[in-house]
A = this chain, B = another copy of it.
Amino acid sequence: MERINGEALSKKIIAELTTEVTHLKKDRRAPCVAFIRVGEDPASVSYVNKKQNTAEVIGIKSRLKVFPKKVSRETMFAQIDDYNNDDDIDGILVQAPLPKHISEIETFNKVSPAKDVDGFGVVNLGKLCQEDEEGFTSCTPAGIIEMIKQEGIDTEWKHVVIVGRSLIVGKPSALLFLQKKIPGNATVTVCHSRTLDLPTHTKQADILITALGLPNTITKEMVKPGVVVIDVGINRIPDTSKKSGFRLVGDVHFESVAPLASKITPVPGGVGPMTVSMLMKNTVKAYRAKMKTE
């Protein structure tokens, strides 16, 4: 078993981006990503902080607008429009989850497709279906594919089983693994909460992607020897030995599954860091596209 070190892979990408951005900034302004956060949900605060810190390391500027939880849809959308129209901003990210009175999908679609570095907007999802490389792929699926590439894992002729059908992970990951190129060319099965007999499916996986959000759910009886496991779940479980009172675990029961796997991502330190570096990669891509048209 080999543990896939998402932290190290992500650091490598960040180092490459730092070199690239340093070079790009010689003649032009720095790339810039703008964040919108609503409320003070600790996970959202922590994610946005991490993204801003990483941007700073690379030399990407960032802005942050924080709204209170009761912000109106109109105020929120006006802010997105301001960012859309601001020539100094290349990428925009609205941190989910949003309060219930604001539709997430409507919000994602409000972001200009050229600045939709999170890739959740309607145009970039359509481009993913069309295998248009100029679009932005959402960061977690892009991070999974980048990991697979960096680790030299074959996908062609392989069976990829994805557990989860969300717009954020499951569906775009399925579309990526189906693409007519490498990484891609995989046979893909998507399972979810309405899947009868989940183990029958997970056991067939050459590559298993889990995005369930249920701690330690995939056990050793559910995988075949030699499987590659990419665990997207980040779940908090109580742990009195920790100062915080909790610790993070994935969807996969790591201790029992790891000995069977050929490669496996840990939680934390697996997919999580890749998501952040992919956001930076998308921001630089948006910046480059923008500079071309100016």
Contacts and interface: CB of A to CB of B under 8 A. Distances in A.
Interface of A: 105, 109, 121-130, 132, 156-159, 165, 167, 171-172, 174-175, 178, 180, 185-192, 194-196, 201
Nearest to A204: B200
Contacts of A128: 129
B185 A178 contact: no
Describe A's contact surface by its main secondary structure: mixed
A188 B187 contact: no
A121 B159 CA distance: 29
Contacts of A196: 157-159, 187
A127 B132 contact: no
Nearest to A194: B185
Chain B CB count within 10 A is highest, among A125, A129, A188, for A129
Contacts of A192: 178, 185, 187
B187 A187 contact: no
Contacts of A175: 171
Give 3 nearest A-B pairs by CB, closest first. A122-B126, A126-B126, A125-B126
Contacts of A172: 129
A184 to B, nearest CB: 9
Contact of A190 (B122, B188, B191): B188
21 contacts: A121-B126, A122-B126, A122-B130, A122-B132, A124-B126, A125-B126, A125-B130, A126-B127, A129-B129, A129-B171, A129-B172, A157-B194, A157-B196, A159-B196, A165-B178, A185-B192, A187-B189, A187-B190, A187-B191, A187-B201, A188-B189
Given A105-B132, A165-B180, A187-B192, 20 more contacts: A105-B130, A122-B127, A122-B129, A122-B130, A122-B132, A123-B123, A125-B126, A126-B126, A129-B167, A157-B196, A165-B178, A171-B175, A174-B174, A174-B190, A178-B190, A186-B194, A187-B190, A187-B196, A188-B189, A188-B190
Contacts of A171: 129, 175, 178
Nearest to A122: B126
Contact of A167 (B122, B130, B156, B191): B130
Contacts of A158: 196
A157 B201 CA distance: 13
A123 B126 CA distance: 6
Contacts of A122: 123, 126-127, 129-130, 132
A190 to B, nearest CB: 5
Contacts of A187: 189-192, 194-196, 201
Contacts of A195: 157, 187
